[in-house]
Amino acid sequence: MSAEEVKNVANDHFKRQEYDRAIELYTEAIEMDGSNAQLYGNRSIAYLKKEFFGYALGDASKAIELDKSYIKGYYRRAMAQMALNRFKLAVKDLETVVKYRPNDADAKNRHNECQKIVRRLAFERAIAVDEVKKSVAESIDLESMSISDDYDGPKLTDGRVTKEFMTQMMDYFKDRQKLHRKYAYKMILDARQLFAKDLTLVDVHIDEDQKFTVCGDIHGQYYDLLNIFQLNGLPSETNPYLFNGDFVDRGSFSVECILTLIGFKLLYPKHFFMSRGNHESQTMNQMYGFEGEVKAKYTSQMYELFAEVFNLLPLAHCINERVLVMHGGLFSTDTVTLDDIRTTDRNRQPPDEGIMCDILWSDPMPSKGRAPSKRGVGVQFGPDVTDTFCKLNKIDYIIRSHEVKPDGYEEAHSGKCITVFSAPNYCDTMGNKGAFITMKGSDLTPRFTTYSEVPHPNVKPMAYANSLFSFM
């Protein structure tokens, strides 16, 4: 087959949303004809779909280098720049697109929206002061929020979450009903206070005969979250859980997911744990729908309160001093210790480098050493890096999430790096299984349970996302 024929087959896989196979075939075509800008451009959009923004950026730049008139290259590079929060650079590329395609309404709209973001960010920097920013929590007046007599939903008991409340709320959400805003605000405020008391790295103790469950990304797939509880039992003092980040975005029931999770955190604070993921950030929430969903279902003020809660989420948990659990992965140097994680300032938006960035964004790779991240943020780390980290910190293995896996989990690096992903058929397109891990305190041996997606109401993923990012 010629490069053109391989490209056409790759395009068919792309149309069927089989992005991994499409990338493989575009790569094969590039090896046959490395001077074809369109091949790099096509692989770039496939990488965008996989959220490999670093690779997408590199391919788009290569396409432009090969053909300065290849307008799709500028467009796709702009998309990658936006995903990496580099809006000024995105504006420059979109200006080129608009210049050569003055009648392209979509490009004009994206250019205008991107310019607005650049201006807003510049304004925020200009008015920034050294004083501590006033918390939005201080401006919320619960007493002024009245509850009408016709509200038939779950109610807090003396302002507190109970087991009965949680059962009623989950059923209420399942029926597509909305929790009263007064109760939602109260839960978020209480969760904010609770997480503020946590350390950046939380030590978790499991008794020898106790089961402990670790779940990966949920991504707003509320009905699949309910299925986890159906399969594995509701959280309780005798059935503790850790949810390892990315509770929101993509899926369009993120509000229901996060309220359910913080509800269990409030009910069982010493037996229910939540780690921050890379999607518990304002940039990702703006792109992938959580901000829009909260505004649609409640208020912009509530989203700002959620953002404060996300800043306070722990970055990692260490189980019985032997298993480290964090969302992304390991670090750009071999010297990072658990104490370094403990002393990391987490109460902020994720930075572009350093311990907090790596722990939220990094991914394992099969080859030794380190490599630039396919995502454009964090690093890729090999089995030698994992082995060195485990030996330095005297732990047995790490658990991370962050990546879709066909079976919902993957054991890599001789079993010392385990990935768990709990959103089956991610975005209604990926066809993957979901999984969770259970272990006993006596041996901490991971046991995997896999499951398929369950039906959900006819609301598509990304239903609340900013139209600027509809390419995702």
Q: Which residues have C-beta within 8 Å of that of residue 361, sequence separation ≥ 6?
A: 278, 328, 329, 350, 373, 375, 377, 378, 402
CA distances from 119 to 87, 113, 126, 127 (A): 10, 10, 10, 12
- CA dist 320 and 452 (Å) reads 31
Strand 397-400 relative to strand 323-326, pairing:
parallel
The pairs formed by 366-372 with CB atoms below 8 angstroms and a separation of 24 or more are: 366/412, 370/332, 372/54
Q: How far is CA 203 from CA 323, 400, 406, in A?
A: 10, 16, 31
Q: Which residue has 């330095």 as its token pair?
A: 392
d(CA 197, CA 220): 26
Residue 200 and residue 342 in contact, taking contact as beta carbons nearer than 8 Å: yes
**241, β-bridge pairs:** 213, 272
Q: Which residues, 6 or more positions from 357, have their beta carbon under 8 angstroms from its beta carbon? A: 350, 351, 377, 378
- How far does the chain reach from its first CA to its final CA, in angstroms? 31
314 and 360 Cβ atoms separated by less than 8 Å: no
Q: CA–CA separation, 208 vs 289, rounded Å?
A: 41
Q: Are the beta carbons of 368 and 383 closer than 8 angstroms?
A: yes
| Known active-site residue 456 | no
How far is it, in rounded angstroms, from Cα 98 to Cα 111?
Answer: 8
The first and second tokens of residue 449, run together, are: 């349970």
- Cα–Cα distance list, 142 to 194, 248, 298 (Å): 18, 25, 14
What residues does 201 pair with on adjacent strands?
Answer: 316
Do residues 458 and 428 touch, judged by C-beta distance below 8 A?
Answer: no
Catalytic residue among 13, 111, 180, 279: 279
| Residue 440, φ and ψ in degrees, nearest 5 | -105, 145
Which residues are tagged catalytic? 279
